[in-house]
Structure 1
Amino acid sequence: MRYSKFFQYVYLVFGALFLYDAITKYMNNGEIAYPSILLGATAIFMFFFRKNFNKKFENKDK
């Protein structure tokens, strides 16, 4: 169970990195990096989904 709590924060880190990549590409080249934005948004969504899922799983054990 410890690993799943750790990996939910890894999703948040990757989401921030992908969004940073999209912002830097836009600021430097003026291009909109849709894949980076999509991956960043998906990673942030997965963080909240995993957090909610882990909370439900812990409440089920009690």
Structure 2
Amino acid sequence: MAYFKYIPYLFLLITLLFIIEAVSKYNEGSDPLPYILLAVCGVAMFFVRRNSYKRYQEPKK
């Protein structure tokens, strides 16, 4: 299950896309708040997934 190691970085990539979209919406004069909130959720999911992967690799002794 090596792909669990790379899933958190997928969330960072998606977060980057949401940030780019938020900046473009802001420049258009639209409301970027939904994209900003999704970017914050993406960063949170990065840390949650990374910590769960570490916990999976090092079970309790």
State the match for 1:20 in structure 2: 20
Aligned partners of 1:51, 1:6: CA distance in 2, in Å? 9
TM-score between the two structures when normalised by the length of structure 2:
0.83
Amino acid at match of 2:3: Y
- Identify the residue that residue 43 of structure 1 maps to in structure 2: 42
> Could you state the TM-score of these two structures normalised by the residue count of structure 1?
0.82
Partner residue, 2:29: 30
Give RMSD over aligned pairs. Answer: 1.6
> Aligned pairs, how many?
61
Q: Return the alpha-carbon distance in structure 2 between the equivalents of residues 6 and 61 of structure 1.
A: 22
**Percent identity over paired residues:** 36
Is there any run of 5+ residues in structure 2 with no aligned partner, and where? none
Structure number with the higher helix fraction is 1
Alpha-carbon distance in 2 for matches of 1:6, 1:55: 12
